[in-house]
Amino acid sequence: MEFYRSHVLVCGGTPCVLEGCKGVRDALVAEVQRRGLEREVKVVETGCLGPCDLGPVIVVYPEGTLYQKVRVSDVPDIVEEHLLKGRVVARLVGEAPQAGVVKYEEPKYLGVQERIVLRNCGVIDPESIEEYIARDGYRALARCLTEMKPADVIEAVKKSGLVGRGGAAFPTGLKWSFTAKAGADQKYILCNADEGEPGTFKDRLILEGDPHSILEGMAIAGYAVGADKGFVYVRGEYVLSIERLGKAIEQARALGLLGQNVFGTGFSFDVEIRKGAGAYVCGEETALIESIEGKRGEPRVKPPYPGTEGLFGKPTVVNNVETLANIPPILLNGPEWFRRVGTERCPGTKVFTLTGDIKNKGLIEVPMGITLRRVVFEIGGGIPGGRGFKMAQTGGTSGGCLPKELLDVPMDYFTLPEHGSALGSGALLIMDDSHCIVDIARCFMEFFKHESCGKCTPCREGTARLYEIVDKIARGDGQPGDLELLEELGAAMQATSLCGLGQSAPVPIKTMLKYFRDEFHAHVHERLCPTGTCGI
């Protein structure tokens, strides 16, 4: 094995790709060769490092220096000053809290983050199965196949307290047990990588940065429930995710880690990729199943649930990307290890995509139960431009909107619903006090009106009426009783809609009316937009 005195990690996540990281990587490789350093310095393209708004980002180890917004023209300086003379190029370090010289063991740019799901992202070359194996990759699968019975695997996942990270927070071990008990000649494992919430891109970056962890998690699930076939349903526009996942599948097959007789144990499991066409509703598990079967992506009436009657009518486990990424470390380190992080009711971590009016945008992983205040002001660096914090929408467009009075509420799947919100898929949208709450509501409702699949009347008609009423209020044509009508209509949609789309569409409106009612009242009764945004 080659030994290198320095490693230069180049973030290869989509945000950095869009900023030109491929050119920076190529320039680094060329400059290192021109200087005759190729036997001393290794350039590695990794998955997402996290600070997505600072790209292209590179980290030089063993010093652990993070350089931000690196251009091709900066490369000669980095090689000359840092890799040859050992001096940090100060002008590229920046002033952001996550920038600067860090230690490998305690990277400063990660701050208070705890990385379980993202343990390999930004550390290994995601296109190298050898690097994944070197980080204990596929060791959990080997342990399950050689030392544990399927029931033991399910029991370990139950004891870990892992709940689904897609939004519903259903206990993962319990879900697996339903499929394990179901009698059938064929069972399936589906990975839901169809994250459609605006502002959410964590699953994409996990797939780009650590695709083998998802394959390993799926194979373990397959062994636990008796399935030998898996599908990853991924958004078609996630080109880099699909490319890297495809390579990972081929690599795993070549080493006998997927396919027939895995590890010589007689267990067989293989995975195929299915591309989605971008419909928001296909994030719902039964609509996803319909789409894989070649039908229009629409939700099914439940019960029966997929656990006993799913893909092609067979028992099927549907887990999302983040849930599956948790499986290998839980089986490798034990459920007690997993429960040391997070809260008693909700162990583990949560991956968020931090966007909006905040200084440090990007991908973060934090313990369950962390407060919104710490995420916004400690990790996110606060609100830029001297503006004040107005609200945070948790869980994507279908999530609730929390005011500054709730900055200290613990963020987990069970506490946020007590305040009308949800942790959901992990999107975290921050807005400063320059925004009008009615204008934001109009934007959200327009999204749901467009994305409703139209199968059930409460959602099809309800999303359109919600938008019409909010739009009327924003134009200054609101009438007394409109706010009560919004609440009544939202309650009816939540009680009668067929799937989570129609049930969750009213959530942002309900929390806005609860916490920002004065602004709605000013629009309706005073014909006034307090922020001057709506033009009335």
Residue 9: enclosing H or E segment and its boundaries?
strand 6-11
pLDDT level of residue 218 (50, 70, 90 thresholds): very high
Residues 501/451, Cβ–Cβ less than 8 Å: yes
Q: Return the higher-pLDDT residue of 114 and 173.
A: 173
Residues 64/77, Cβ–Cβ less than 8 Å: no
278-302: b or e for each residue (b if 16 or more CB lie within 10 Å)? Answer: ebbbbbbbbbbbbbbeeeebbbbee
Q: Is the pLDDT of residue 113 over 90?
A: no
Q: What's this model's pTM, rounded to 2 decimal places? A: 0.90
pLDDT mean over 223-245: 96
| pLDDT of 534 | 79
pLDDT mean over 414-434: 91
Q: Is the pLDDT of residue 418 over 80?
A: yes
Q: In what order do the strands lie in the sheet with 427-432?
A: 362-367, 349-356, 427-432, 389-394, 401-402
Query: CA-to-CA distance for 260 and 272, rounded, in angstroms?
Result: 14
- In this structure, of 119-123, 211-215, 248-252, the range with the lowest mean pLDDT score is 119-123
Residues 6 or more apart whose Cβ sits within 8 Å of residue 54:
68, 69, 94, 96, 98, 99, 362
325 SS3 class:
helix
Q: Is the pLDDT of residue 107 over 60?
A: no
- In this structure, of 165-169, 327-331, 350-354, the range with the lowest mean pLDDT score is 165-169
Residues 411/369, Cβ–Cβ less than 8 Å: yes
DSSP alpha helices (H): ranges in 121-171? 129-134, 139-147, 150-160
Structure tokens at 292: 């894989």
Closest by CA position to 452, among listed 487, 529, 403, 504: 504
Q: Is the pLDDT of residue 3 over 90?
A: no
pLDDT mean over 85-94: 89
Q: Which phi and psi (to 5°) does residue 192 adopt?
A: -85, 100
* Percentage above 90 pLDDT, the chain: 83
- In this structure, of 223-227, 336-340, 380-384, the range with the lowest mean pLDDT score is 380-384
Query: CA-to-CA distance for 328 and 127, rounded, in angstroms?
Result: 19
| pLDDT of 97 | 46
Q: Is the pLDDT of residue 237 over 50?
A: yes
Q: Is the pLDDT of residue 106 over 80?
A: no
Relative to beta strand 349-356, strand 427-432 is parallel
Q: Is the pLDDT of residue 461 over 80?
A: yes
What DSSP letter does each residue of 211-232 carry, written as one string? HHHHHHHHHHHHHHHT--EEEE
pLDDT level of residue 110 (50, 70, 90 thresholds): low
pLDDT tens profile 254-273: 999 999 999 999 999 999 99
pLDDT tens profile 266-304: 999 999 999 998 899 999 999 999 999 999 999 999 999
Structure tokens at 285: 């598990």
Q: Is the pLDDT of residue 101 over 70?
A: no
Q: In what order do the strands lie in the sheet with 259-262?
A: 259-262, 267-276, 229-235, 188-193, 316-320
pLDDT tens profile 439-460: 999 999 999 999 999 999 999 9
What DSSP letter does each residue of 431-485 carry, written as one string? EETTS-HHHHHHHHHHHHHHH--SSSHHHHHHHHHHHHHHHHHHTT---TTHHHH
Residues 33/80, Cβ–Cβ less than 8 Å: no
| pLDDT of 149 | 98
pLDDT tens profile 401-416: 999 999 999 999 999 9
Average of per-residue pLDDT values in the chain? 93
| pLDDT of 357 | 96
| pLDDT of 199 | 79
Q: Is the pLDDT of residue 105 over 50?
A: no
pLDDT mean over 387-397: 93
Closest by CA position to 497, among listed 237, 315, 262, 302: 302
pLDDT tens profile 482-535: 999 999 999 999 999 999 999 999 999 999 999 999 999 999 999 999 998 877
| pLDDT of 104 | 46
